[in-house]
Chains A and B, each alone.
Chain A
């Protein structure tokens, strides 16, 4: 009996030892791991993130700037939408930025930011981004982080397979998602098939200035050109576009455009077309599109209407365009850093199709065609196929690369991101995302040199990820550490608007070029007042121009008389400060306009049309200094038929 008891004790003791040992192992492991993840995203107060991320704002029309790994938002850059915060699209200087062939448009749908490149590497000079609804491409200067150019894209509709740059930023490319009659005309919708066309626009970027100009448009068959990517390295000179609706349906597309087992990836040899165009090829067709340029010296944008565009029919340039059959309405069209593999993310397919650029060239060389569509040769699926990632998930949308031979694909339906190996096509890891991811981004993702440390996924559905805030939610994003074999979820952060794609870059490439002020001496705004002596109020008919200055902590002048009901008053405000981060604001009571936020050295203009007599105050809206509250002034508004003379003052009374 005693023996039994002792041995029982012994067994219990051994078990206890085991379990307790296991317990302590588990707890210490999970504890260490989770605290490790917190450390990986913790950027101590006052310290800086290692990467910038530029997230499109989707239907906000803007671009947001985030830091990685912290997930903190630093700035919202107004691009296609009016932005009352700064007065963008409200000030006289920036209204022309939003001009189009349809007139002034206050809003846009911004999709795919892409950073300019030199020799296939992100160079941090510009970010380009497309507007989907009223087709436009914008350029954001990464010295000022402001939008400096917007070009409208004619003959396009649903500017979605945009705005990706080639490896030396020779072109920023904009493809149409919706095919339309070219030129636009009154015709029955049911005659879509064979009559509508899709324009793929190659917008040249001047090497020094970055100025954009539509070099040519390739008029393709009436499919939907969904997404695109440039060839790079060995495939530099080519551009690849996914298509859907090769059925050319014009109604109930969710069914009618999902009938073909395979749609196409269109491979465009743009170097060949460029050569053709440089030799006078193509046709200039009448068009009407806006080209808006912001001049940082005059602080003013101008909008010019362009009246023609060069179009190229693919049949004119033999050997320039081919179709690669790709299963099931492919969405993302992604090219790996070497330029060899072209991933077609067939969104209704269970498998992921990868094409080989080398095999494509072979098939073209040997003229192994399966047929043709509208005169464009169709290659054989099997001849071009590099491999298939079998059953990686449901609903593949987009793929990015880490530069170490791995690819990462988002799966919308199964709500996950899957890591797989280029060449062997084996799945290495999968992690859930929350919920239903769209794009993902790796710094330097669309380039020959990705920086494969972080990857983040931008999701379409948020639901319960954050504290509830009613029916309308911001979207969620998740940051993963991809430096190891397995992806590790580090951080979940809310974004603004609906980020589609994002472009990210190591901070070291751009942070030192970021401008602190605008030099007042360089300001060539026609209404700039560069000192108190330049301030004035001038009446010209019923227009009154007030050239006013701001400096801590007063407006000059701050007493103005002689304004009349019915006048159109232009407040031209110059901020005389030359100190970093000392903007001044301007707001006028009852003004049917936004306020202004004027950066040091800048001039901005706000229009006010007073409707009532009285003495109306204005004030600085940015808490600029200890005496910010004192930064105010008055405008006396007299009756239309009064003879109050125009007078102004600072520091003394108007007599």
Chain B
């Protein structure tokens, strides 16, 4: 159980990587952009991959009537997400420490994982909703209006995960280091659960 608890603590602490590294990356390449434009989504806000990328993405998007990329203060998510992450890290560490001293059992590890998964799915859902709004809620007076074959306006929603072609742009959306650390951290808490469970089964047999 000691080993499992240490892994639980490490796993939770890995979430702190989100404060330093981006959760997600959206990369926009085009014939005219051999060096793709990019936006990095951090839990505290969105930043350009290069200094002027956000400004240049906004500049291009004005042709199709997209809203500008929100500043940190324009979305409640960027103040709430960091608090949620800090809370989950603290909770995970506390559970780990209590587990180390056998004050709680391994089931708490699974509890933490389930809670984190629910929060993560909610976050993804929220993120996807923003992408939908960003890609479809367009200025009716946009310079360029593209419609689907059925006459409905084309959506410029970037993919939540993976690749999509949007007009001349190749858009790729993938987790970045912060995101990978999050997944790794969560996986470690699962490992902690299994180890804890095995240790407890051994004890009882």
Q: Do A and B come from one complex?
A: yes
Seen from chain A, the residues whose Cβ lies within 8 Å of a Cβ on chain B are 517, 551-552, 577-580, 626-627
In the docked arrangement, what's the CA distance between A626 and B59, Å?
Answer: 13
Which chain B positions have C-beta within 8 A of A577? 59
Is A627 within 8 A of B143, CB to CB?
yes
Interface pairs (14), CB distance under 8 Å? A551-B59, A552-B59, A577-B59, A578-B51, A578-B52, A578-B55, A578-B56, A579-B52, A579-B56, A579-B59, A580-B35, A626-B63, A626-B144, A627-B143
Supplied contacts A517-B52, A578-B52, A580-B35, 14 more A-B pairs, CB within 8 Å: A551-B59, A552-B59, A577-B59, A578-B51, A578-B55, A578-B56, A579-B52, A579-B55, A579-B56, A579-B59, A626-B63, A626-B144, A627-B63, A627-B143
Chain B residue numbers with a CB within 8 Å of A627 are 63, 143
CB distance from A532 to the nearest CB of B (A): 13
* Max count, chain B CB within 10 A of own CB: residue among A578, A579, A580, A626: A579
A517 and B35 CA atoms in complex are apart in Å by 15
**B143 / chain A contacts, CB cutoff of 8 Å:** 627
A626–B51 CA distance with the chains assembled, in angstroms: 24
Instruction: List the B residue with the shortest CB-CB distance to A517.
Output: B52
Q: How far apart are B166's CB and chain A's nearest CB, in angstroms?
A: 15
Closest 3 pairs between A and B when the two form their complex, measured CB to CB: A578-B52, A579-B56, A578-B55
Contact code string B56-70 (vs A, CB < 8 Å = 1, else 0): 100100010000000
**Cβ distance B11 to chain A, nearest Cβ, rounded Å:** 40
- Give the residues from 53 to 90 in chain B that come closer than 8 angstroms, CB to CB, to chain A: 55-56, 59, 63
Quote the shortest CB–CB distance from A30 to chain B (angstroms).
39
- Interface residues in B29-69 by Cβ distance below 8 A to A read 35, 51-52, 55-56, 59, 63
**Contacts between chains A and B (CB distance < 8 A), count:** 17
Scoring B52, B55, B143 by chain A CB atoms within 10 A of each residue's CB, the highest score goes to B52
Complex Cα distance, B5 from A213, in Å, reads: 71
- How many chain B residues touch A (Cβ–Cβ < 8 Å)? 9
Nearest CB in chain A: distance from B147 CB, A: 18
- Convert B100-118 into 0s and 1s, putting 1 for each residue whose CB lies closer than 8 angstroms to a CB of A: 0000000000000000000
A390 to B35, CA, bound (A): 56
Distance between A628 CB and nearest chain B CB, rounded to angstroms: 12
Interface of A is mostly: loop
On chain B, the residues within 8 Å of A517 by CB distance are 52
**Set of chain B residues within 8 Å of A552, measured between Cβ atoms:** 59
Nearest Cβ on chain B to A183's Cβ, whole angstroms: 53
Who on chain A is nearest to B51 by CB? A578
- CB of A553, distance to nearest CB on chain B (Å): 8
Q: What separation, in Å, do the CA atoms of A517 and B144 have in the docked complex? A: 27
Output the least CB separation between A448 and chain B (Å).
36
Q: How far apart sit A517 and B56, CA to CA, in the bound complex (Å)?
A: 13
A551 to B56, CA, bound (A): 11
Instruction: Specify which chain A residues have a CB less than 8 angstroms from the CB of B35 in the assembled complex.
Output: 580
Q: Which residues of B contact A626 (CB under 8 A)?
A: 63, 144
Taking the closest CB of chain B, its distance from the CB of A94, in whole angstroms, is 26
Complex Cα–Cα for A578 and B59 (A) = 10
Give min CB distance, B68 to chain A, whole Å: 14
Q: Which of B11-27 contact A (CB under 8 A)?
A: none
In chain B, what residue has the closest Cβ to A630? B143
In the complex, what distance in Å separates the CA atom of A626 from the CA atom of B167?
13
A-chain residues with CB within 8 Å of residue B55 when the two chains form the complex: 578-579
**Docked complex Cα distance between A530 and B98 (Å):** 58
Residues of A near B59 (CB, < 8 A) are 551-552, 577, 579
Contacts of A580 in B (CB 8 A): 35
The distance from the CB of B66 to the nearest CB of chain A, in whole angstroms, is 15
Closest residue of chain A to B52 (Cβ to Cβ) is: A578
Give the docked Cα–Cα distance between A578 and B35 (Å): 15
Cα distance A578–B55 in the bound complex, in angstroms: 8
Closest CB in chain A relative to B14 CB, distance in Å: 35
Tell me how far the C-beta of A631 lies from the nearest C-beta in chain B, rounded to whole angstroms.
12
Task: Compute how far the CA of A578 lies from the CA of B50 in the bound complex, rounded to whole angstroms.
Answer: 11
A526 to B52, CA, bound (A): 24
Measured CB to CB, the closest approach of chain B to A515, in angstroms, equals 13
A579 to B63, CA, bound (A): 16
Contact flags B140-165 to A (C-beta < 8 A → 1, else 0): 00011000000000000000000000
Q: How far is the CB of B161 from chain A (nearest CB, A)?
A: 28
A135 to B55, CA, bound (A): 46
Q: For residue A627, which residue of chain B has the nearest CB?
A: B143
Alpha-carbon gap, A627 to B51, bound state (A): 25
Q: How far is the CA of A551 from the CA of B63 in the complex (A)?
A: 12
Specify which chain A residues have a CB less than 8 angstroms from the CB of B51 in the assembled complex. 578
Complex interface: chain B residues within 8 A of A578 (CB): 51-52, 55-56
A175 to B59, CA, bound (A): 52
Nearest-CB residue, chain A, relative to B56: A579
CB distance from A549 to the nearest CB of B (A): 13
Q: How far is the CB of B52 from chain A (nearest CB, A)?
A: 4
CA distance A626 to B52 in the complex (A): 21
**Which residues of chain A have C-beta atoms less than 8 A from B63's C-beta?**
626-627
User: Of all chain A residues, which has the CB nearest B35?
Assistant: A580
A39 to B143, CA, bound (A): 47
Minimum distance in angstroms from B36 CB to a CB of chain A: 12
Least distance between A531 CB and chain B CB atoms (Å): 12
Which residue on chain A has the smallest CB distance to residue B32? A581
A159 to chain B minimum Cβ distance, whole angstroms, is 42
CA distance A282 to B35 in the complex (A): 56
Cα-based distance from A560 to B152 in the complex (angstroms): 40
- Cβ contacts B158-200/A at 8 Å (1 or 0 each): 0000000000000000000000000000000000000000000
Q: Report the bound CA distance from A627 to B35 in whole Å.
A: 23
Across-interface contacts of A551 in B (CB, < 8 A): 59
**Minimum distance in angstroms from A321 CB to a CB of chain B:** 53
Q: How far is the CB of A96 from chain B (nearest CB, A)?
A: 30
What is the CA–CA distance of A528 and B18 in the complex, to the nearest angstrom? 40
Docked pose: A580 CA to B59 CA in angstroms: 13
* In the complex, chain A residues whose CB is within 8 Å of the CB of B56: 578-579
Closest to B144 in A: A626
B57: nearest chain-A partner, CB-CB: A579
CB distance from B41 to the nearest CB of A (A): 21
A551 CA to B55 CA in the complex, in Å?
Answer: 12
Q: Which residue of chain B has the shortest Cβ distance to A579 in the bound complex?
A: B56
Q: State A565–B28 Cα separation when bound (angstroms).
A: 49
Q: Name the residue of chain B whose CB is nearest to the CB of A625.
A: B63
Return A469 CB to nearest CB of chain B, in Å: 34
Complexed CA–CA distance, A352 and B63 (Å): 68
A626 to B32: give the CA distance in the assembly, Å.
12
Enumerate B114-146 residues with CB–CB distance to A below 8 Å.
143-144
Q: How far is the CA of A578 from the CA of B57 in the complex (A)?
A: 11
Which residues from A are CB-within-8-Å of B144? Answer: 626
Residue with the highest number of chain B CB atoms closer than 10 Å, among A517, A551, A578, A627: A578
- Complex-state Cα separation, A535 to B43, whole angstroms: 37
Nearest-neighbour CB distance to chain A for B163, whole angstroms, equals 22
Min distance, Cβ A258 to any Cβ of chain B, angstroms: 58
Chain B residue with Cβ nearest A577: B59
Measured CB to CB, the closest approach of chain B to A648, in angstroms, equals 22
Give A586 to B156 CA distance when docked, in angstroms: 33
Complex Cα distance A626/B55, Å? 18
Q: How far is the CA of A217 from the CA of B55 in the complex (A)?
A: 52
CA distance in complex: A627, B64 (Å):
12
**Looking at B35, B51, B59, B63, which has the most chain A CB atoms within 10 Å of its CB?**
B59
* Distance, CA A550 to CA B143, complexed state (A): 17
Alpha-carbon gap, A580 to B35, bound state (A): 10
CA A578 to CA B63, docked complex, whole Å: 17
CA distance A577 to B52 in the complex (A): 9
> What is the bound-complex CA distance between A579 and B48, given in angstroms?
13
Find the B residue at minimum CB distance from A580: B35
A53 CA / B143 CA spacing, docked (Å): 44
CB distance from B142 to the nearest CB of A (A): 12
